[in-house]
Structure 1
Amino acid sequence: MESTVVTRLSILGHPQRLAVFRLLMRRYPDRVPAKELAQALDLKPNTLSTYVNALMQAGLITQERVGTSLRYAVHMEAAGETVDYLLRDCCRGRPEICSPLASLAAGGDSPITDRKFNVLFICTGNSARSIFAESILRKEAGDRFVAYSAGTKPRSELNPFALDVLEQKGHDVSVLNAKNLSVFQGADAPDFDFVFTVCNQAANEECPAWTGQSVSAHWGMPDPVKAEGSDAEKSLAFQQCYGALLNRIKAFTVLPIASLDRIALQRAIDDIAQSKEGASA
C-alpha cells in the first residue's frame, strides 16, 4: 500500500494534475466529459489526455466512453484509501493534530445534531436553478431548514420564466433576489451545514472553503435559461428543471440527518443526484 500511496502523491504533486483531480472531486459523482474538463481548466486536449492518463494509472480516477465522448470521475474508494493511510501513518503519537480528520476517514462516528440547518445553493447566475432550490426548500421544510442561494457571477435580475413558474407553484417571490457568493463570505455570514452546486459551471470554479464542516454536493442541472424555441418550449424547460429539483429536495428533506454519521449522510446526498426521480428530463 505504501508504494501505491507514494505513486499517487507523486502524481498529485503536479499542480495541473492536482487541478484535474480537484475539479473531478467537486463534480463527484458526475462523470465529466474530457472536452468540458479541458475548457474549464484551459488545457489543450492532448495535455489533458496526458494528465488524466497519469491519474488513471495511479488509480485515482476512472474513465468511461459514452458514444464518442470520454468521461472521467474520481475513484472515491482509492482517494479514501490514500487519505486514510496518510492519517493513520502520520498521526501516530500525535492525536491532538489528526484525531478529527482520522475520525472522518474512519467512518465519521459523530452524527450531525438535530436542529435547524443552514443550506446554500450555488449556481452561476443565481437567476433560476439556485433560486428554484432556495424557494422549494423554504416551502417544503422551512421549519427545519434555512435556505439561501447565490451566484458566482449573478445576473442583475431574476429570470422572468423562473419567476412565472414559482408564482404558479405558490411561492413568495418578493423575498428573492440575485446575490453574489461573496455575500456569504464575510464574518457575519451564516455557517452552512450543507452547500450544493446546482450547475456544472459553478462546480467547475474554485469556490471558497466554508467554515465548519459543511456537507457539500453537486446536483448539476441543465440550464433552462439556455432553452431555445417558443415561449411555451422555454417555459417547459423551466418546469422540468423545477420538477427535478423538487424531487431531489423532497428526498433530501426526508433523510434522517440526526441519526446519520457524516460519511453516510454524504453518500445519501450523492445518491440523490444520481437517482432517476431527481434527473432532469
Structure 2
Amino acid sequence: MSGAVNGVPEFIRLVSHPLRWQLVTELARSDLRVRELVAAVDEPQNLVSYHLRLLRDGGLVASRRSSFDARDSYYHLDLDRCAEALADAGTSLHPALRMTPAPEEPPRRSSVLFICSGNSARSPIAEALLRHRAGNRVRVSSAGTWPKDRIHPHAVRVLREHYDIDIEEQAPRVLNPTLHSRFKRVITLCDKARETLSDNPPRAHWSIPDPSAGDDGRSSYSRFVSAAADIDDRVRHLLPSLKEDQP
C-alpha cells in the first residue's frame, strides 16, 4: 500500500467504502470463498469480486486456491498490514495519534478447538502456539477428521527449534461428533476439513497449505517454518478477539 490520493491515506480510502468495510469485517473473522462473502454481504457476485480486487491491489487482502477443490479460492485479510496502515493513517493526521497497541490478555473461560485432516501438522502446531501464548487462560485442543498415526517430525522440530515448545509425546486425536459443542471457538486450518464439514461448519477457517504435501525430505522443513509463522501470526490476532466469548 502506498501514498495517498488528494491527501487521503490509501487505507482510509479503501476501507471507508461501505461494502469494502463489510468485506474486511467478514474476512477479519475467517478466510472465506467468494460465494460465502456474497451471502454474507447480500450483494451480487460481480460487485463483490470488483471490490475484492481493489482490496487485493491495495495489499490488504490475498487469495489462495483451495487445496481440496482447486475451483475455489479462499480470501484472507492481512491483519498486520491493516494495523500498520491504520497506524500510518493516524500519524498522518497528527503525531499524537501514533498507535502503540497494549498487550492483550485473553479472558478466562475461553476455549478453542483447532481441526485439520490428519491432526499431524497444522492443528497441533496451532494448539501448541495458542497454549504457549495464553498459558492456562484458554482451554485449547486439536483433532483430525482423518487422524494420522503420529505427529509429523517436522512439526515437532519447528516448535522445538523456533518456539521452545515440546510436543514429541503428543499423538493425533480423532474428531468425534460431540467435540464441537464443548468449545466456544472451532477453527479449521485445512481446506479439506472445512469443505467436508459443511453440515456442521466451523465458526472460522484459516486456509493454510499443508506443509507436508509433496514431502521431499529435508527441503520440506522450510514449509513447516512458514506454516508455523503464519499460524503464530493468526494466533496473536485471535487472542484479543476471545474477549467476545465472555458470557
TM-score range, shorter chain: 0.5 to 0.7
Residues of 1 paired with 2:142 and 2:197: CA distance? 17
Cα distance in 2 for partners of 1:198, 1:73 equals 12
Deviation at 1:139, TM superposition (A): 0.4
Residue 116 of structure 2 corresponds to which residue in structure 1? 123
Tell me what 1:181 maps to: 175
Q: CA RMSD in A?
A: 4.0
Q: What is the letter of the counterpart of residue 216 of structure 1?
A: R
Asked if 1:194 is matched to 2:185, the reply is yes
* Cα gap change, 1:258 to 1:208, in 2 (>3 Å): same
Structure 1, gaps ≥5 residues long: 1-26, 34-54, 75-112, 262-281
Residue 226 (1) aligns with residue 213 (2): yes
CA gap 1:195/1:73 in 2 versus in 1, 3 angstroms:
same
> Which letter maps to 1:178?
P
Match of 1:257 in 2: 243
Q: Which amino acid aligns with 1:30?
A: L
- Displacement of 1:209: 4.2
Hey, what does 1:206 align to over in structure 2? 197
C-alpha spacing 1:259/1:196, structure 2 compared with 1 (3 Å): closer
Asked if the contact 1:114–1:258 (Cα under 8 Å) also holds between the matched residues in 2, the reply is no
Change (3 A) 1:28 1:147: closer
1:172 CA drift (Å): 2.5
Alignment match of 2:225 (pick from 239, 255, 263)? 239
1:118–1:193 Cα contact (<8 Å) kept: yes
Q: Is the 8 A contact 1:120 1:149 kept in 2?
A: yes
- State which of 116, 135, 138 in structure 1 corresponds to 2:131: 138
Greater fraction helix: 1
CA contact (8 A) 2:109 2:139 kept: yes
Q: Counterpart of 2:33?
A: 31
* Whole-angstrom CA distance in 1 between matches of 2:133 and 2:204: 20
Q: Counterparts in 2 of 1:1-281, with a 5 A limit?
A: 29-31=31-33, 64=49, 71=72, 114-168=107-161, 169-174=163-168, 176-182=170-176, 185=178, 191-206=182-197, 209=200, 216-231=203-218, 233-255=219-241, 257-258=243-244
Ranges of 4+ aligned residues in structure 1 off by more than 2 Å: 27-33, 58-66, 69-74, 113-116, 206-210, 227-230, 258-261
List per-residue Cα deviations over 1:65-99 (Å, max 9, x = no partner). 99xx975789xxxxxxxxxxxxxxxxxxxxxxxxx
Shift of 1:179: 0.6
Q: Show CA shifts across 1:105-145 (max 9, x none).
A: xxxxxxxx943211000000000000100000010002321
CA shift at 1:61, angstroms? 5.2
Shift of 1:176: 2.1
* In 1: Cα distance, 2:208 partner to 2:74 partner: 17
Please say which structure displays the higher CA radius of gyration: 1
Q: Percent identity?
A: 29
Unaligned 5+ segments in structure 2 are: 1-28, 54-62, 64-69, 76-105
1:28–1:248 distance in 2 versus 1, CA, 3 Å? closer
Distance 2:181 2:197 in 1: 20
- The aligned amino acid for 1:191 is R
What is the alpha-carbon distance in structure 1 between the residues aligned to residue 236 and residue 175 of structure 2? Answer: 25
